[in-house]
Amino acid sequence: MNEQNDNRQQNGGNRNPKNSNTIMIMVTAAIITLLVVSLFSSLVSSQSSNYVEYSKFVEMLENGKLHTVLLDESSLKITFTLKPDEKLDKDSLAYITQLKTKYYTNMSSFDIELISRLESADLEKYDVKLSDTGATIFAFLISYVLPIVLVWVFLGFMMRRAGGGGGVMGVGKSNAKRYDMQKDTGVTFKDVAGQDEAKESLVEIVDFLHNPGKYSTIGAKLPKGALLVGPPGTGKTLLAKAVAGEAQVPFFSLAGSDFVEMFVGVGASRVRDLFKKAQETAPCIIFIDEIDAIGKSRDSRFGGNDEREQTLNQLLSEMDGFDSSKGVFILAATNRPEVLDKALLRPGRLDRRIIVDKPDLKGRVAVLKVHAKKVSLDETVNLEEIALATSGAVGSDLANMINEAAINAVKHGRKAVSQKDLFEAVETVLMGKEKKDRIMSERERRIVSYHEIGHALVSALQKDSEPVQKITIVPRTMGALGYVMNVPEEEKYLNTEAELRAMLVEFLAGRAAEELVFDTVTTGAANDIERATAIAKAMVTQYGMSARFGLMGLSSIESQYLEGRAVLNCADETAADVDKEVMEMLKLSYEKAKELLSEHREALDKLAEHLIEKETITGKEFMDILRQIEPVVDQNGETVSEAEANS
């Protein structure tokens, strides 16, 4: 009795979606059928270029221009020929052509005087072809019945394709892919690296699915669901498969968009079918990727009860209704948790939120090792250096870098991947491939060289800047005409105010070098200005590093796992003051950059000339040349001689 009541409650909110689907399908099919029949009839009617309107036919008949007329009652058509031009020779080709050219028109049921007109007209020949019942039926079938049958066959085929069979032509069946981890090799936690905290959160889930009796004896229940949250490419789907692989249970995988269809109620029907299948195969895991497609917060301001909201309501109802002791566990993934409906995240539904964030230095090393298992590496490879150079990269980026490095090794004729191949792959993923066919003028090469050396020199002269790894003026496919690669000496999770201000000076040093040397500026500093402005605005509005606004938070982050865009939440007057403060910070940083470069003009010129000659130099080569020119270059602010004495 309770099960019947539950089913009535669940189905009641959907107003018999199967009946609604049937009506919608029939109405759609009828409209399409009428359109097809109308189009088919018009095509049949106008299939000949000699077709004329009936009114034109009557006009020519009354004017005595017709030569022969044939009425065909079976097809309701009139075939006629015209009298040739009297000026033409009867034996000429033009006369014979005009005489044999046939024209067509359709009979009009309103013209009851047609027969009398034909009998009184001056015609060479007039004949009536009586109707043939068989031919009439055949013409009706071809013109009307055949298009209708074809439309219904096509609709049936498409609905079966969409729904996978069953229901109203299968439209309400779940199309989740099932992976049987007991038969397939599957994925385990060994294949997931850099997400130790997330794996720990899922260990007891695996243990419960593998040994449910151990928990049920003391009354413990399996959590109904968990939400995997993190940026794209961090391994949320891989973690879900690993849970199923470790527990050796069936795994139903589908995306949130798979529930949503054109017909209202289809998504809800698919949710019911999915949970029915899951309970029949329990213990198992249901994985819904990109759940924000159906789990967005419900908003009554613009109306409701649409397909997505019905699907979400049914999902919430099913999550409340199934018995978790049977071993059905729901895993969902999203990179937009802020848009999800609160009812979906409350305890008893998606009980846990598991953060799958970008890996740290140790995690990146582990990810690189996992992806490098099947790649031949030589003795020069140091994955920790690669991990340091790829701060902020996710698992998919690192996998792509390993693959690009293997491709580079093959391209250069090597049988194993070297450290050089790996660094080249890092540059390819982050900056694009080298555009060796782009030839810049000598003046542009000098401008780009001074620009990049300006960045590198200011970085070396400031104790709070990161060391320079590489400088190049070879253009890249992502738009850069040159760049400076800075690699930190250790992983950082925080930046001090001094480090941020040093970044501002370094970002603007390229443009400062252009103005100092060439007494003009170019468009090459656009990206530098954009990044410097973003850092300065964050210092003022988020980090409390402004003397004018102090600790006041003036902005918030939206979509932190996607673009992470900062949105001001202050008055317009305050926003204008923020712009003035940011402008002042950038102005001071630019003046400091010009001051540093002016004081070390000799080093700037010599390093720029060396870069023009070599096109690409390493950080070590850069520092060796700088030490020969400048005595004060140590990262700790000491002279080289003092630093060497202390060491």
> Whose structure tokens read 């000491």?
638
CA distance linking residue 182 with residue 491, whole number of Å: 41
Q: Which of 287, 197, 186 lies closest to 234, judged by CA?
A: 197
CA distance linking residue 319 with residue 225, whole number of Å: 9
Q: Are 285 and 244 in contact (CB under 8 A)?
A: yes
The percent helix, strand, coil of the chain (3-state, each to 5) is 55, 15, 35
Q: Are 315 and 294 in contact (CB under 8 A)?
A: yes
Strands 225-229 and 250-255: unpaired
Q: Interior CA angle at 149 toward 144 and 154, to 5°? A: 130
Q: Which two tokens stand for residue 422?
A: 């790996």
Q: Is 109 exposed, middle or buried (0-12, 13-18, 19+ CB in 10 A)?
A: exposed
Q: Which of 61, 68, 70, 57 lies closest to 129, judged by CA?
A: 70
Q: Is 8 exposed, middle or buried (0-12, 13-18, 19+ CB in 10 A)?
A: exposed
CA distance linking residue 273 with residue 18, whole number of Å: 13
Helix pair 395-411, 419-431: axis angle to 10 deg: 120
Q: Are 224 and 324 in contact (CB under 8 A)?
A: yes
219 alpha carbon, distance to own chain's centre = 44
Q: List, by residue number, the catalytic residues.
A: 452
Q: In what order do the strands lie in the sheet with 616-618?
A: 483-486, 468-472, 616-618
Q: Is 444 helix (H, G, I), strand (E, B) or coil?
A: helix
Q: Which two tokens stand for residue 386?
A: 């690669």
Q: Which two tokens stand for residue 621?
A: 């080569």
β partners of residue 377: 417
> What region, left, alpha or beta, does residue 352 occupy, with left being phi > 0 and alpha being psi -120 to 50 degrees?
beta
Q: Are 273 and 266 in contact (CB under 8 A)?
A: no
* 302 phi, psi to nearest 5 deg: -115, 30
Q: Is 404 exposed, middle or buried (0-12, 13-18, 19+ CB in 10 A)?
A: buried
267 alpha carbon, distance to own chain's centre = 22
Q: Are 302 and 256 in contact (CB under 8 A)?
A: no
* 531 phi, psi to nearest 5 deg: -70, -40
Q: Which of 395, 147, 165 lies closest to 270, judged by CA?
A: 165
Helix pair 572-599, 526-541: axis angle to 10 deg: 130
Q: How many residues does the chain have?
A: 647
Q: Are 95 and 89 in contact (CB under 8 A)?
A: yes
Q: Which two tokens stand for residue 453?
A: 């050396």
What residues contact residue 429 under an 8 Å CB cut-off, 6+ apart? 397, 400, 401, 404
Q: Is 92 helix (H, G, I), strand (E, B) or coil?
A: coil
